[in-house]
Amino acid sequence: MAAREKSQRIGVFPGSFDPIHNGHLDLVERSLGLFDQVIVAVLDNESKRPVFTVEERVEMLEELFERRASVRIESFSGLLVDFARAVSAGTLIRGLRTGADFDYELPMALMNRRLFPELETIFLVPRAEYADLSSSLIKEVCRLGGEVSGLLPEGVRKRLEGKLRG
Ligand code: PNS
């Protein structure tokens, strides 16, 4: 059993997930085709002023993935590489939608490599219909009364509307 656990391919999909949307879900599904276990790692950082607390974000993710034995939900604070080391992950998974994402991601991937050379970062591309989705845009549209159905899971949408429209 221990030997089997050792040989498991573990990928960490880190992010703020404030809140999770369909683009994120698509990336988790794609990651499951590449790894034995995918750990969705929720950044616990109040300085980003999230709409949802880290406990709420973890709870929503746990509900969404409760039937997926190969998906684990964790929160982390501090350096992502330290978290990856602690959970024996060999790979970080990030999404790439646009060139702007690449400009944001490349320095992080290179810094993470500096800190933990054995850890790889891979970039996955979401389905084209989700390529314009971001948590911040969804929050802005929702806050201003726009329709966000179909962009994120229904339960998450309801909780977001509850938060932003009171
Ligand atoms: O969903 P986000 O907000 O784009 O995710 C950003 C995240 C969580 C991947 C990034 O902020 C991060 O890794 N934070 C942890 C702190 C850290 O390790 N910083 C150095 C990264 S080079």
pLDDT of residue 1: 46
- Give the separation between CA 96 and CA 138, rounded to whole angstroms: 18
Active site residue 4: no
Contacts (Cβ under 8 Å, ≥6 apart) of 45: 16, 77
Q: Is the CB of 112 under 6 A from ligand 1?
A: yes
User: Which residue among the candidates 31, 135, 139, 159 is catalytic per the annotation?
Assistant: 135
* Catalytic annotation present for 48: yes
pLDDT given for residue 6 in this prediction: 54
Give the span between the Cα atoms of 72 and 66, in whole angstroms.
9
* CA 10 and chain centroid, separation: 15
| Per-residue confidence (pLDDT) for residue 153, from 0 to 100 | 98
- The C-alpha atoms of residue 18 and residue 134 are separated, in whole angstroms, by 10
At 39 the pLDDT is: 98
Q: Which of 12, 16, 42 gets mutated to test ligand 1 (max ligand atoms within 8 A of its CB)?
A: 16
> Is 75 part of the annotated catalytic residue set?
no
Per-residue burial over 16-53, b = 16 or more CB atoms within 10 Å of its CB, e = otherwise: bbbbbbbbbbbbbebbeeebebbbbbbbbeeeeebbbe
Q: Name the pTM for this structure.
A: 0.95
The answer to whether the beta carbons of residues 67 and 75 sit under 8 Å apart is: no
Q: What is the pLDDT, as a whole number, of residue 166?
A: 78
User: What's the token pair of residue 76?
Assistant: 């982390």
Residue 3 C-alpha to ligand 1 middle, in angstroms? Answer: 31
Residues 106, 31: Cα–Cα separation, whole Å: 20
- Is the confidence at residue 84, as pLDDT, over 60? yes
* Measured distance CA(25)–CA(6) in Å, rounded: 27
Q: Whose CA is nearest to atom 1 of ligand 1?
A: 15
pLDDT tens string 94-153: 999 999 999 999 999 999 999 999 999 999 999 999 999 999 999 999 999 999 999 999
Q: Which residue has the higher pLDDT, 3 or 65?
A: 65
For residue range 28-55, list pLDDT tens digits in order.
Answer: 999 999 999 999 999 998 888 999 999 9
- 152-161 per-position pLDDT tens digit: 999 999 999 9
For residues 65-85, give the mean pLDDT. Answer: 98
Of 30, 85, 97, 113, the active-site residue reads 97
Whole-number Å distance, alpha carbon 50 to ligand 1 midpoint, is 14
Which of the 8 DSSP states describes residue 65? T
